[in-house]
Amino acid sequence: MRASREALAKEAYDLRKKYGYSWLVIAKRSKTRQHNVRKAAEEYAAQHSLEWPLEMYSRGRMIYEMIEEGMSLKSIRNEIGMETYMARKYARDYAKRKGKTWPIEQ
């Protein structure tokens, strides 16, 4: 793998693993095609004997975990392209369904 493709593959794999981003969100962030990021991440996982396939989180879980790590709703909005009030709603509903703390104390 070329160095730039390797970097894309690692970033795609890490984002999917950490936040459960969809391949579409990762592709938009990387300014490339959805198929390219998924394939690169799959090759990266195979080369490094990492877990594959990776789970895609629900929007609520993804946003809740991003907030839990200290990201602001504004930065989440910019990252995933969702209005702030919707992001808050998804995270709040996820917390309620899973019996987690809401609002999240940062």
Does residue 104 belong to any structural domain of this protein?
Answer: no
Please give the residue range of the domain that contains residue 38: 3-47
Cα 54 vs. chain centroid, distance in angstroms?
Answer: 11
Q: Helix, strand, or coil here: 40?
A: helix
Q: How many domains does the chain have?
A: 2
Do 38 and 72 sit in the same domain of this protein? no
Do 9 and 39 sit in the same domain of this protein? yes
Does residue 53 belong to any structural domain of this protein?
Answer: no
Do 12 and 41 sit in the same domain of this protein? yes
One pLDDT digit (tens) per residue for the chain, 106 residues: 667 889 999 999 999 999 898 898 899 888 999 999 999 999 999 999 999 999 889 999 999 999 999 999 999 998 888 999 999 999 999 999 999 999 887 6
Does residue 33 belong to any structural domain of this protein?
Answer: yes
Do 32 and 66 sit in the same domain of this protein? no
